[in-house]
Structure 1
Amino acid sequence: MLKFENVSKVYDDGFQAVSSVNFEIQEGEFLVIIGPSGSGKSTTMKMINRMIPHTSGTITIDGNDVTKLNAAELRRNIGYVIQHIGLFPHYTIAKNIAIVPELKGWDKEKINDRVHELLKMVGLDPEVYSDRYPKELSGGQQQRVGVARALASNPRVILMDEPFGALDPLTRDQLQGELISLHQKLKKTFVFVTHDMDEALKLGDRIAIMKDGKLLQIDTPEKLLHEPAHGFVEEFIGKHRIMQNPELMPVTDVMNEKVLTSLPQRSPERALSFMRKRQVNTLIIVDEDDRLLGILPAHDLIAKMKDTKYIKEIMLSPKPYLSDSATARDAIIMMDEAPNGIIPIVDKDHKVIGVVTRGTLLSALSSQWTELEVAQ
């Protein structure tokens, strides 16, 4: 669908921001571009909608050279979300979302229906938020409006430039979860720029790693971890610290034993307060004997708490989970099946003793490798 062929960007002062980049993005794919500051990741993304013109090479969408398309029309057909949101402060929320459909000449009724549909989709009640102004919303709510605005004209491609970077960890995790759900539901093509590897691993179908304007590797998260194609890729994602021998490493060596659990009879308000105080984004639901019952991510809790009396009504299946006899390799393989990026670990009595996430997996294995290097 979207293709870069030998694309470079050189500024007037001679600085080469992007150097002969080649890759292709498939329809409906979620591609994350990541790299250190100055790597060219944001420049690469902004060349798609010609916010930054490329110097050489070819960028095509469905075989059409973007330089041959009308720039304004191109941008109206590509959703765009940035870190600082960019809502117009003197426009209501409904008006902010309606900007592109209005420019495209949609009739008023269609626009109103679309605004209401999108506000509901991003978890904001249109009866409450349509007539408010951006300053009346929290940062997380404003970012939801930014996502809704990007989706307003039903574009096939959505560009997102570090959209959650300025948010607190709980809000950020919640919006990441909602974005995953939106992607699965809408099947749009997403190009997402970040500097956070945990975010990239959580969101991306594939991850493109850049450094000094060059694309070093573009692969699935699992292939990046197992088969890094460049020394910097190893360093950046910690892969060379990962695989000593995961088949022999107990999963209990890579799990986090500090698990926030709750009984299923807790109210959603108390549960959310509990999570905020402990600064976690997922509750593990257990019975009176600490046996695993379910999982409750913060984004699901917030989205459904209005009509919920007890969290047992909205908790998700605990699967997948692992027993304490499993290995780190089992966790690595199973992580693909964990829709919330978390795997509970239980003992022989099905009692929760820990959890594994991509972050704890990488961190624990990284630490082990470092210890081995020191010992040698």
Structure 2
Amino acid sequence: MLKFENVSKVYDDGFQAVKSISFDIQEGEFLVLIGPSGSGKSTTMKMINKMEPHTSGTISINGKDINSYNPSELRKDIGYVIQQIGLFPHYTIEKNIGIVPQMKGWNDKEIKARVNELLELVGLDPEVYATRYPKELSGGQQQRVGIARALAANPDIILMDEPFSALDPLTREQLQAEVSALHKKLNKTFVFVTHDMDEALKMGDRIAIMKDGKLLQLDTPEKLLHEPAHGFVEEFIGKHRITQNPELMPVTEIMSETVVTSLPQRSPEKALSLIRQRKITNLIVVDDDKKLVGIVSAYDVIKKLDVIKTVEEIMLSREPFLPETATARDAIVMMDEAPFGIIPIVDAQQRVLGVVTRGSLLSAMSSPWTDTEENDHE
């Protein structure tokens, strides 16, 4: 699908932002580019749509050199989502989403149908939001519109440059889940830039770790965690704490005992109040005996606030869950099945003892590492 061959980027001041990198991105893959400031990750992504022309080497899409494309035409066929969202404030939401289809010659009826389809796809009612302006929407809603606009002309490739970094934690987790679901549903090729390793591990099929313009390792999250190919990679993702065998580590040692629970009969208004008060993204639903019943996402509570009477109506199955006798390895294997990236841990009577999340798994397997290096050339 996408191929980089010995690609470099040198700026006019002589700074080499990207240094002879080579890699492939498969069709339908979700590739994450990550690294400290100045690593070249955003520059690498921007070279795909020629927002940053590469200095040497070859970038090709389906075997065709991107230098053979007109830059304007190339960008019309590649979706692009940025951190600042970049909606035109004087255009309605409908007009913002329809810009690229209009430029590609679609008629008004086709554009309107596509806008309505995409608004529904990103969870925004067309009858409510199509005629609104960006300033009338929250940050999360604006970013959903940005995603819809990137998909408008049905491109095969979607570029996303730290799209969630300016959002609050709850909105960020919601959009991470929604974009992952969109990727699975649409089978588009996503190239996603982030500085957040937890986000990278959560979303990427493969992750490319960069430093000082070099590509140090490109592998699956599991292989990066267990087989770092470079000392910096090991430092960046964290040194393993599970040094022997994760099958020997009890899941109770890595679970969080801070669990916010709700009875099935709780009203959505009270649930939302609890969610905001505790700054969480999911509620564990239990019965009067504290036994696990199911799980509810904050996003679903917000989305269904006006149409449900209790959280039980939108509750998902309690599975998957793990017994307290399980191991860290069990949690690693099961995490992909967890609908919200959260696995409840229960005792023999099915009472909730704690939860394991992707974050707590990562914390157990790694030590924090932070890079403070700054560089204008990202």
TM-score category (smaller protein): over 0.9
Kindly provide the amino acid, as one letter, of the partner of residue 96 in structure 2: N
Other-structure match for 2:373: none
Other-structure match for 2:375: none
Q: How does 1:84-163 map to 2 (within 5 A)?
A: 84-163=84-163
Say whether the 8 Å CA contact 1:93–1:131 is kept in structure 2. Answer: yes
How many Å apart are 1:304 and its aligned residue?
Answer: 3.3
Distance 1:282 1:111, change over 3 A: same
How many Å apart are 1:318 and its aligned residue?
Answer: 2.1
Other-structure match for 1:182: 182
Distance of 1:238 and 1:306 partners within structure 2: 43
Structure 1 window deviating more from structure 2 (173-182 vs 242-251): it is: 242-251
How many Å apart are 1:276 and its aligned residue?
Answer: 1.1
Distance of 1:318 and 1:239 partners within structure 2: 33
Kindly provide the amino acid, as one letter, of the partner of residue 221 in structure 2: P
Say whether the 8 Å CA contact 1:324–1:346 is kept in structure 2. Answer: yes
Other-structure match for 2:322: 322
Kindly provide the amino acid, as one letter, of the partner of residue 280 in structure 1: I
Distance of 2:324 and 2:8 partners within structure 1: 50
Q: How does 1:63-82 map to 2 (within 5 A)?
A: 63-82=63-82
CA offsets 1:119-143 (integer angstroms, 9 cap, x no match): 1111111111111111111111111
Say whether the 8 Å CA contact 1:226–1:239 is kept in structure 2. Answer: no
How many Å apart are 1:57 and its aligned residue?
Answer: 0.8
CA offsets 1:231-276 (integer angstroms, 9 cap, x no match): 1111111143343432211110000000111111112222122111
Kindly provide the amino acid, as one letter, of the partner of residue 270 in structure 2: R
Kindly provide the amino acid, as one letter, of the partner of residue 357 in structure 2: T
Say whether the 8 Å CA contact 1:177–1:299 is kept in structure 2. Answer: no
Q: How does 1:166-315 map to 2 (within 5 A)?
A: 166-315=166-315
Distance of 2:302 and 2:41 partners within structure 1: 32
How many Å apart are 1:367 and its aligned residue?
Answer: 6.1
What is the count of residue pairs matched by the alignment? Answer: 368
Structure 1 window deviating more from structure 2 (238-247 vs 308-317): it is: 238-247
Distance of 1:367 and 1:43 partners within structure 2: 28
Q: SS in structure 2 opposite 1:308?
A: coil
Q: SS in structure 2 opposite 1:20?
A: strand
CA offsets 1:7-36 (integer angstroms, 9 cap, x no match): 111111111101111111111111111111
Q: How does 1:17-96 map to 2 (within 5 A)?
A: 17-96=17-96
Structure 1 window deviating more from structure 2 (322-331 vs 291-300): it is: 291-300
Kindly provide the amino acid, as one letter, of the partner of residue 189 in structure 2: T
Q: SS in structure 2 opposite 1:12?
A: coil
Q: SS in structure 2 opposite 1:364?
A: helix
Distance of 1:148 and 1:85 partners within structure 2: 11
Distance of 2:304 and 2:121 partners within structure 1: 13
**RMSD between superposed Cα atoms in Å:** 1.4
Distance of 2:191 and 2:303 partners within structure 1: 25
Kindly provide the amino acid, as one letter, of the partner of residue 77 in structure 1: D
How many Å apart are 1:185 and its aligned residue?
Answer: 1.1
Distance of 1:367 and 1:317 partners within structure 2: 33
TM-score, normalised with respect to structure 2: 0.95
Q: SS in structure 2 opposite 1:240?
A: coil
